[in-house]
Amino acid sequence: MKFKNNTVFDCAIVDMSKVHTVSGNITVLENGDNIPFDVKRVYYLYDVPAGEARGGHAHYELEQYIVAASGSFDVILNDGTNKKTFTLNRPHLALYIVPGLWRELNNFSSGSICMVLASNDYDETDYIRDYNDFIKEKLGYNEHKSKKIH
């Protein structure tokens, strides 16, 4: 499989907006409305121990919306040339992640919940979990961008 020629600049924090009432807020995500792919799977990370990092992989095809349903954390995206850190700290904000990017998540606040909406079923063959392999495949595809990053 080949990595998509995407960069961190194809990712952005999206405001999903909220329905505010005196008794609390609701945020709605609906296929075909305010999300650019059809959601096939939802999962969430919680009880992440202090100082722990998650992620550490890239996907060939999977698109994701990542939401801090509670608390806050950082998502660091890396396209082999550029690195960008997004802080998620409001339940009505989602980070749209395109395929082909290395990602790490860290700085989880106590009690935080990282909810992920994904465009496909869980498929281990869609993952690349070795950073050196990622760089080799990504920069092989993007030879003109073979600048070292850190």
Q: Is the dihedral of CA 37, 141, 144, 84 positive or negative?
A: positive
Q: C-beta of 78: minimal distance to ligand TYD in Å? A: 14
Q: What is the CA radius of gyration of the chain?
A: 16
Q: C-beta of 57: minimal distance to ligand TYD in Å? A: 6
Q: C-beta of 101: minimal distance to ligand TYD in Å? A: 13
126 or 142: whose CB is closer to ligand TYD?
126
Cβ–Cβ < 8 Å for 66, 114: yes
Give the residues lining the site for ligand TYD (CB under 6 A).
Answer: 41, 43, 45, 54-55, 57, 122
Catalytic one of 57, 92, 144, 150: 57
Closest CA to 45 of 105, 119, 128: 105
* Burial of 1 from C-beta contacts in 10 A (0-12 / 13-18 / 19+): exposed
9 or 43: whose CB is closer to ligand TYD?
43
Closest residue to ligand TYD using C-beta atoms: 122
24 or 124: whose CB is closer to ligand TYD?
124
Instruction: Tell me if residue 57 is catalytic.
Output: yes
| Both structure tokens of 1 | 């499989």
Catalytic residues: 57
